[in-house]
Structure 1
């Protein structure tokens, strides 16, 4: 893998002279690329934040203020040409803007969680400094905790088509696009067999999902009001198009086959077109339907690859595995999910300990996040006794695993402090926001003490 955070651009390729894709070829392509087989080595983090005005947090931030802040970041060390992925950051993270004005830093793949942490901390500091010069600040929360205007700030054809697609099923898609922020940890898929085999890692990650939702729940507010959920973001995602937000079937021995079926049976969100035409897809059209002649033109492999970028299950295989179920965290709080996930997944002893703690929760054969356990994780978080016990066992196993790796002192400290502050007390970061709301202070600024 060249970069854990690679994405396809929104530039439509020419359709002429491109051979049409068959159903068999599509399935073969997907099973070949979805899980890159090899010893786990690389890790990355994609951290997303809202931007608030430091002096007037409840107001919407004009995009041109963010533009001016980001324009102050260097383009290349030599200052000669723009960096192809946007501003040049000290450790090489990619900076992107999200549809509702959120910003995201995607770290380059690192050889260890310690290296990943060191690099992303540098780049986060550079971004915060640039924003501060314009009176702006980063806010780590799974939903925007303040009652601000939500609006689509990026009007590329992809996002307009996405908005149209999700509008068919209620407000949840617009809330997701403009009012939520996440943290993703990206890890290698695993080996063909042995203690780090990719089918076992795939299963363990899905079993771990509710614990990650619960431990890091950080979105109890929407439009300035408590929703009754510790992770409102998770609730929003669970109510969206199930063909692209549920997990694939988890009962198959080889997840490559279930993933290929999942991709082809998901509804098409957008169809790329040239000449400025909208990318809106017909309602109910699946990619399999498109392969069988239901679309306006035959789909190509490029269409299939792009379709994969519009699927949002809790874990998305892209050669590597993206864990997408974690709320954005305050300050440098992303260090803790990074430590927990890598500690459990890359150490066979820790993985076995976690598996023993997670299996009694009983979600191995169902399709999250629309299960009772995932709903409890989003609502009660670690106040749920079963999730609390499992979380503490996983934190302990991860700490033991990191103790066997050099250079992980910072990560172990962050992990231990978080475990003591939150799951050990039946709390999660969302409780800090609720405490601030009751005290009449800005929940958005509760992160100041932890960065």
Structure 2
């Protein structure tokens, strides 16, 4: 990753990112110190980024699997240039491909959410137009809503090791890799203290998490069948390896909590020379590796790679990456972008959001239980049909609207998108998942295949 400034690095998710290898074994104290120093870049919030994933469907036969060669051909037709962190589309968004054939665009960090949205919208238009020329369409949904064969389309040793690790316990890891998609918002970590401090932002994001799950729930189907949950994607994540999908405790110093979390997580990948598998021994934590339980001493590069295999709801990467929102149809990712940035970067809105979310803050939440608490389960199952979550969502949308109003004309488009979403969904006790369920009940396809033009 190429740093753009202290506080936020290039927003991307390519698995090949690797630190420079060092031959010296890494000590446990050095690992904790390193993690505490790099995962929260301190400074006034100044940049924001957004990532959006889509499933790829055949435009004529959406239930047919898309051959990897066909997807590769469409990707090869895109007007990309090589950046330091992977292929970039004309407006600077990084293009990546996920194991199940999903595609992702990660915006470059921008000074305002409006600029961020403009950049990703432009590159999304290029992506969908090129795919349309190849008879393919993008679908924004937290899980693939159609019954299609799910394949591991990538054979990188990382993904093969991940598949092996997750399938030791249950099938949900493979479902996650091949059948889920998200919209992610990335914000700066914050200052050392004050109203925009890293500790305060860390706590607010975790309180806001179940509200975001509920408001933007968009995955009620899996393999063509209703699961009984509005965000099946959230349930899939919650049933995987808890050492990497639970949130750390959100009280105390976030840097210390995160550093301990990283070391206590099980190792998925042990990188080895070409031709050898990267599969890690069962039950090996990174702390255990540092204490001599691995096949060789752990290095700083191993620690850096291990960090990329952790998937909590909020992931520190210098900046803070929100991972709990389902993929949205069309340009719907603009709404969580507007909501989160308005609540996080406006001190008055942040204070009011804490007050509005206070009823959701229970002691059990702070004891390293999310996303396993009843609240997260209700968010995934009932979404904003749950009265408590609906009230919290409406309060947060209203606060974000007032924050955007204070910014005046530049924020007008995102403010309109936010208001339209609030009126269509939480104000009516609905979420995007309900649109998919309505389509199923009417006999229509439970997804909107995006047209070529934005």
Short-chain TM bin? over 0.9
Moved more, 3-12 or 160-169: 3-12
Structure 1 pair 109–307 and aligned structure 2 pair: CA distance change class (3 A): same
Q: Distance in 1 between matches of 2:212 and 2:453?
A: 20
Aligned equivalent of 1:189: 189
Q: Secondary structure at the match of 1:324?
A: strand
Instruction: Please provide the CA RMSD for this pair.
Output: 1.8
Aligned equivalent of 2:428: 425
Matches for 1:91-106 after TM superposition, within 5 Å: 91-106=91-106
Q: Distance in 1 between matches of 2:19 and 2:322?
A: 30
Q: Distance in 2 between matches of 1:12 and 1:30?
A: 15
1:318 aligns with 2:317: yes
Aligned-residue offset at 1:88: 4.2
Aligned equivalent of 2:43: 38
Aligned-residue offset at 1:362: 2.2
**Counterpart among 424, 435, 451 of residue 438 in structure 2:** 435
Q: Distance in 2 between matches of 1:449 and 1:356?
A: 43
Aligned equivalent of 1:56: 61
Residue-pair matches, total:
444
Query: Please, what TM-score do these two structures have when normalized by structure 1?
Result: 0.95
Q: Distance in 2 between matches of 1:447 and 1:439?
A: 20
Q: Distance in 1 between matches of 2:132 and 2:34?
A: 46
8 Å Cα contact 1:75-1:83 kept in structure 2: no
8 Å Cα contact 1:12-1:273 kept in structure 2: no
8 Å Cα contact 2:18-2:304 kept in structure 1: no
Aligned-residue offset at 1:4: 3.3
Aligned equivalent of 2:72: 67
Aligned-residue offset at 1:375: 0.1
Aligned-residue offset at 1:393: 0.4
Aligned equivalent of 1:19: 24
Aligned-residue offset at 1:365: 1.1
8 Å Cα contact 1:12-1:272 kept in structure 2: no
8 Å Cα contact 2:220-2:232 kept in structure 1: yes
Residues 62-85 of structure 1 deviation map (CA, whole Å, 9 limit, x = unaligned): 112222222222234xxxxx5555
**Counterpart among 371, 380, 393 of residue 373 in structure 2:** 371
Residues 227-278 of structure 1 deviation map (CA, whole Å, 9 limit, x = unaligned): 00000000000000000000001222x1110111100000001100013100
Q: Distance in 1 between matches of 2:11 and 2:432?
A: 26
Q: Secondary structure at the match of 1:330?
A: coil
Structure 1 pair 127–22 and aligned structure 2 pair: CA distance change class (3 A): same
Q: Secondary structure at the match of 1:142?
A: coil
Query: Please, what TM-score do these two structures have when normalized by structure 2?
Result: 0.95
Structure 1 pair 162–400 and aligned structure 2 pair: CA distance change class (3 A): same
8 Å Cα contact 2:86-2:95 kept in structure 1: yes
Q: Secondary structure at the match of 1:408?
A: helix
Q: Distance in 2 between matches of 1:87 and 1:93?
A: 8
Q: Secondary structure at the match of 2:54?
A: strand
Matches for 1:142-153 after TM superposition, within 5 Å: 142-153=142-153
Structure 2 residue runs of 5 or longer lacking an equivalent are none
Q: Secondary structure at the match of 1:193?
A: coil
Matches for 1:292-441 after TM superposition, within 5 Å: 292-363=291-362, 364-366=365-367, 367-406=369-408, 407-441=410-444
Q: Distance in 1 between matches of 2:57 and 2:407?
A: 38
Aligned equivalent of 1:172: 172
Q: Distance in 2 between matches of 1:382 and 1:447?
A: 26
Aligned-residue offset at 1:348: 0.8
Q: Distance in 2 between matches of 1:6 and 1:71?
A: 19
8 Å Cα contact 1:272-1:279 kept in structure 2: yes
Structure 1 pair 163–368 and aligned structure 2 pair: CA distance change class (3 A): same
Structure 1 pair 433–129 and aligned structure 2 pair: CA distance change class (3 A): same
